[in-house]
Chain A
């Protein structure tokens, strides 16, 4: 049987990226003086998972780096050395290196090994320092593979070794190295008999605390099940049982009868008696319940070393779907913590074994928060766990951790390709249209005679709307995905600029369209860098101004009406009106002294505009705000600036809920309906013929509030028949794009609506002046106009006709 792991690579990449993100956010929030044990453990677990998985998948370069990292973290975690700033730095650095490698592997390239070597060296150096300098470079070197025993694991296995198995199977055709490596991870592997001339069997013993079934699952990946024999050796520690071991043979397992299935049976030895008291054994949760054990094992200090694996306990082969009902189990645990409890310890047994079953694909990252919360609640067992959870959430100092952790921490989730979701959205959209059609037909029949049908249709309408809402929400993701990277940005930059800055984040769980989240990252990063560089003053200046030396940057996301508002706020110096005005004059931008503030602030979005006194590598080159503005505009959003000198400034980004939907005005032209994006509409009017002038008899302009705007006749431009040619009969819509204003002449205004944007290019081609298409409630297609393109089309046409002179610009 051959087994190709590469098909799971994508899962590995995704999962590892998540682990790296967790590691980073936890590390950033670490209080170096008194690090939180739970956080340290969580970081360690993340590193450990990356190591295990990368080894399994054969990315040994990553394994090498994580191995060193893990060794260092383990020392800290066990309190053998104190956490230092340098360690935090090197951990973050290692995270970056790993991220780079991951990306390279993902693209099928060979990653650059130089940074890896450098970071391993640095890790070793830190390790040597941590160990008191008498371990110069003798610590495990980079060439190692993960198969070698590591301190934490050895310890784990030693402290929890409970069972010894004799495993025998005939030598299969393929390489077993991987299997052995995996088995070594689980415990002490002794090969008794290798295939030779007189025996074709492998025989070896494995001392592990993993369950027999886990072993079986692991081995049957490589070896046909029917020839496999796994026997328990009697020499093992007392009272350890595998998953399917005889229930009830242990005196403590009585109340588990019937649940024994998924329940890792207790290992009711005497290893963690104090934990036992805190444990909950509610049979109702016995099914999926792994966390409490974990908590309990954590709470007994000597069990610490089992933690790296214990969070994986739910990665039991194929059971990953049954995610812990975290909150409730936590609650349950604390409320009934005095209940009889015997299940602690069993996680020790199962956890380590399960690490490699299914290769951890199902291991949800989110268990870490749960574990964390439960750990802490287990420590203070009489304190209700939910309360603890809330305090963790409300602690504003640690929003990042809470966010990252929370973001992943919701419920069980599955990965689905965006394509499938889009297909679903399309189909539901179609259903809505069909439903509207039915409703239309039904309105033509007698409602009294067909009352039942009318009722049914009314219900259909409700159901389809609900369905549509639910489906649209699938694409929504919490903004914490973007936010979570900023603590790092701020930390690095503040260090570089010698400023003290605190980043606060609010509303990380605000959801918006996934595609938008990706495009929001760059503009937001830019705004935050700007705030740090230009906004927040140096600690001395702040002290002189009577402010707290530590500046604050507030990142806030919220829903406002149909929009998402993301704000970047700082308590720095604020924008300098005079400087902006003089700079604008320098740049040749028309300004006046009595411009309102709001207009002055908008000037900073002009290309090449920077008021920074000196160009730094952070900002000041003036290639930024205009790009930010362009990016936001392309998302259909708006930027607003508020600022007060000496108090601070706030930049708000206002975005539509989703990219797939556009707020548009429907305008009629002949038989067709066109959609004009609402963001580019200034207003509309019934033109007064006196306001319309021609230039050289051809190009027409309209006077709108003392401004002459060129008129674009939509019908003429698109070569479509219009109902009205006479300005008096139609409607003039004043549009603005890129600072240029025009009057668009159409037949009529139909109404305003939100439309779902569809691609015209999928099956056809790009059409000039049209950005896409949509489907109206009637089921007909309507084209969405691209105002910017319309204006440039109009200009080109005017140029082609030499007789037609046109007033350019505004």
Chain B
């Protein structure tokens, strides 16, 4: 009980640190937000080269101006929405810890500025999107935004984006 009170007190402090701009995107019916400073660019989906023996949510690699960038589909990874690809399919290219990763999303919605106290601590729940990778929740225009710790997610072993030894070292 005491812990919980302490946590609530920390809440505003916790949130203030996060007060900044976020890029919001949708996956199925859910809305997510990532730190805009981690976003390198947004581009269309196309010309993906499949990789041998890769999990299904890793769509392959693309050539991003001479750099080979892996593309993952979060919709497949988290069973959200239908994974179909057309000319409107969007890839958010993220720059995380000197690695470039592209993620396929259903759509990019907006850039929102969230003040620290607008972000609430996530409750503990079990979901595909493990709460470990959620920094907080916020409400914008009566919609719940899930603020994702995208760096932690992408470097997790679960995503198989990084060599195991490297993942551990990081």
Contact = CB atoms under 8 A, between A and B. Distances in A.
Given A764-B161, A765-B163, A773-B61, A780 B49 contact: yes
A781 B52 contact: no
Contacts of A765: 160-163, 166
Given A759-B68, A763-B70, 15 more contacts: A426-B67, A430-B66, A671-B50, A760-B61, A763-B99, A764-B161, A765-B161, A767-B52, A769-B53, A770-B51, A770-B52, A773-B49, A773-B68, A779-B47, A780-B49
Given A763-B99, A765-B162, A426 B52 contact: no
B49 A782 contact: yes
Contacts of B54: 767
B73 to A, nearest CB: 15
Given A719-B53, A764-B161, A430 B65 contact: yes
B66 A429 contact: yes
B144 to A, nearest CB: 31
B91 interface: no
A769 B52 contact: yes
A775 B52 contact: no
Interface string A357-375: 0000000000000000000
Contact of A426 (B65, B100, B101): B65
A768 B52 contact: yes
Nearest to B70: A764
A453 B145 CA distance: 49
B49 A781 contact: yes
A782 B49 CA distance: 7
A210 to B, nearest CB: 48
B83 interface: no
A720 interface: yes
B68 A760 contact: yes
Interface string B87-125: 000000000000111000000000000000000000000
A766 interface: yes
B83 to A, nearest CB: 18
B50 A763 contact: no
A767 B51 contact: yes
Interface in B30-89: 47, 49-54, 60-63, 65-70
Contact of A672 (B49, B69, B70): B49
Contacts of B62: 781
A134 B163 CA distance: 69
A430 B64 CA distance: 9
Nearest to B66: A426
A773 B54 CA distance: 15
6 contacts: A718-B53, A763-B101, A764-B70, A770-B52, A775-B66, A779-B63
Contacts of B70: 763-764
What class of interface size applies to chain B in its complex with A? 20 to 34
Contact of B66 (A427, A760, A768, A783): A427
Interface of A: 426-427, 429-430, 433, 671-672, 717-720, 758-770, 773, 775, 778-783
Given A672-B50, A768-B52, A763 B69 contact: yes
B68 A762 contact: yes
A666 to B, nearest CB: 13
A773 B162 CA distance: 17
A770 B47 CA distance: 19
Nearest to A423: B66
B52 A763 contact: no
Contacts of A768: 52-53
Q: Which of B51, B62, B99, B100 gathers the greatest number of chain A CB atoms within 10 Å?
A: B51
B109 to A, nearest CB: 26
Contacts of A720: 50, 52
Interface of B: 47, 49-54, 60-63, 65-70, 99-101, 160-163, 166
A436 to B, nearest CB: 13
B49 A763 contact: no
10 smallest A-B Cβ distances: which pairs? Answer: A718-B52, A426-B66, A781-B49, A764-B70, A765-B163, A430-B66, A430-B65, A775-B63, A773-B68, A763-B100
A67 to B, nearest CB: 46
Contacts, number: 80
A767 B68 contact: no
Q: Which of B61, B63, B69, B160 gathers the greatest number of chain A CB atoms within 10 Å?
A: B63
Nearest to B167: A765
Given A426-B67, A775-B66, A719 B52 contact: yes
A763 B54 CA distance: 15
B66 A758 contact: yes
Contacts of B100: 763
Contacts of A430: 65-66
B163 A763 contact: no
Contact of A762 (B47, B50, B60, B67): B67
Contacts of B63: 433, 775, 779-781
Contacts of B160: 765
A114 B155 CA distance: 49
Q: Which of A720, A760, A763, A778 gathers the greatest number of chain B CB atoms within 10 Å?
A: A763
Nearest to B51: A767
B98 to A, nearest CB: 9
A247 to B, nearest CB: 53
A672 B52 CA distance: 11
Contact of B68 (A671, A764, A766, A778): A764
B41 to A, nearest CB: 14
Contacts of A770: 51-52
A763 B68 contact: yes
B21 to A, nearest CB: 25
A781 B49 CA distance: 6
Contacts of A719: 52-53
Contacts of B49: 672, 773, 780-783
A770 B54 CA distance: 12
A760 B69 CA distance: 8
A766 B163 contact: yes
Nearest to B95: A763
A227 B53 CA distance: 72
B99 A762 contact: yes
B53 A781 contact: no
Contacts of B67: 426, 758, 762-763
Contacts of B101: 763
A761 B165 CA distance: 13
Contacts of B68: 758-760, 762-764, 773, 775, 781
B84 to A, nearest CB: 17
B47 A783 contact: no
A672 B61 CA distance: 12
Nearest to A715: B52
Contacts of B161: 764-765
A773 B50 CA distance: 12
A759 to B, nearest CB: 7
A781 to B, nearest CB: 4
Contacts of B50: 671-672, 720
Q: Which of B47, B65, B69, B160 gathers the greatest number of chain A CB atoms within 10 Å?
A: B65
A764 B54 CA distance: 11
A670 to B, nearest CB: 8
A769 B68 CA distance: 17
Contacts of B60: 781
A763 B102 CA distance: 10
A505 B66 CA distance: 39
Nearest to B47: A780
A281 to B, nearest CB: 52
A328 to B, nearest CB: 40
B49 to A, nearest CB: 4
Contacts of A782: 49
A764 B61 contact: yes
Q: Which of B47, B68, B69 gathers the greatest number of chain A CB atoms within 10 Å?
A: B68
